[in-house]
Amino acid sequence: MIQLNVNGKPVQVDVAPDTPLLWALRDTLQLTGTKYGCGQALCGACIVHMDGAPVPSCSIPVSAAAGRKITTIEAVATNRVGKVVQEAWRKLDVVQCGYCQSGQIMSAVALLSKNRKPSDADIDQAMAGNLCRCATYVRIRAAIHEAAKALA
């Protein structure tokens, strides 16, 4: 059994220690908002927060998440930054197919949590690991600026 803290709650998962965190979240805990894309830390679909920092959950063994605070898209709106980002996403109708958007939002929230006034360059850098096949990049950047305004 591996003891995790997910979305503010202690949980136990009965999986091998080298199981990727993504599968513990999706298959064991049924937190299916976090998506699988590449499995190789290349696309950002699986990003969650570990102690507030964005990490690709496909490439983190669940044993490395023990004792750390994991936050998934399901709980992102429980803090102010997450709520504001979610509202900006809705207001600007960012989502197209939606597949990449959990990861996009997790990266955006991590950025705005440490930088309330990101420049375009800051945004491009912070979001570089999140790919979107539908190419919603322009709306993502606009929504991050919109959220930054709301947080000011």
Q: Give, in degrees to the nearest 5, the angle at Cα 123 between 7 and 44.
A: 50
Is residue 54 near ligand FES by the rule CB under 6 A?
A: no
Which residue in the block uniquely carries the two structure tokens 């190419």? 135
Is residue 46 near ligand FES by the rule CB under 6 A?
A: yes
Q: Give, in degrees to the nearest 5, the angle at Cα 122 between 7 and 5.
A: 10
Q: Are strands 53-56 and 2-6 parallel, antiparallel or unpaired?
A: unpaired
Nearer to ligand FES, 61 or 79 (CB): 61
Nearer to ligand FES, 33 or 79 (CB): 33
Q: What is the DSSP letter of 7?
A: T
Q: Are strands 69-71 and 2-6 parallel, antiparallel or unpaired?
A: parallel
Is residue 44 near ligand FES by the rule CB under 6 A?
A: yes
CB-CB neighbours of 34 under 10 Å: 23
Nearer to ligand FES, 10 or 18 (CB): 18
Task: Find the binder of ligand FES among 41, 66, 142, 150 (CB under 6 A).
Answer: 41
Is residue 61 near ligand FES by the rule CB under 6 A?
A: no
Cβ 18 to ligand FES, closest distance in Å? Answer: 16
- Among 89, 97, 95, 100, CA closest to 131: 100
Q: Which of residues 98-137 bind ligand FES (CB under 6 A)?
A: 98-101, 132-134, 136
Nearer to ligand FES, 41 or 151 (CB): 41
Q: Which residues bind ligand FES (CB under 6 A)?
A: 36-39, 41-46, 56, 58, 95-101, 132-134, 136
